[in-house]
Amino acid sequence: MLLACVDDQPAGVITVTESHALYAGGRIGIVQECYVGPAYRSHGVGAALELCTPPLPRFERTLAFYQRHGLVPVGGRKMRRRY
């Protein structure tokens, strides 16, 4: 968890969990939630909390394989079976 403070007052928070992924070659961080208090929005607090990571590759052939087997993208890199 990272806490952003402005003038020693909590302004925002971001929580991250650790996981592992083969595509990333090991450990990754997953942002679970990011919140900035209303009084601090549009003042760069969220940008200060942002964790910069490179974009994920598209893996077009891998996605096509799963889609041929009845799975559909549901957001991000998550997939579910369509019935």
The number of beta carbons lying within 10 Å of the beta carbon of residue 13 is 16
Residues pairing with 4 in the sheet = 12
Total length of the chain: 83
Q: What 3 state SS string does the chain have?
A: CEEEEECCEEEEEEEEEEEEECCCCEEEEEEEEEEECHHHCCCCHHHHHCCCCCCCCCCHHHHHHHHHCCEEEEECCEEEECC
- pLDDT at res. 28: 77
What is the maximum alpha-carbon separation in the chain? 54
What pTM value is reported for the model?
0.56
* Per-residue tens of pLDDT for the chain, all 83 residues: 888 899 999 999 988 888 887 777 777 778 888 899 999 999 989 888 875 444 555 677 877 888 898 887 766 655 566 66
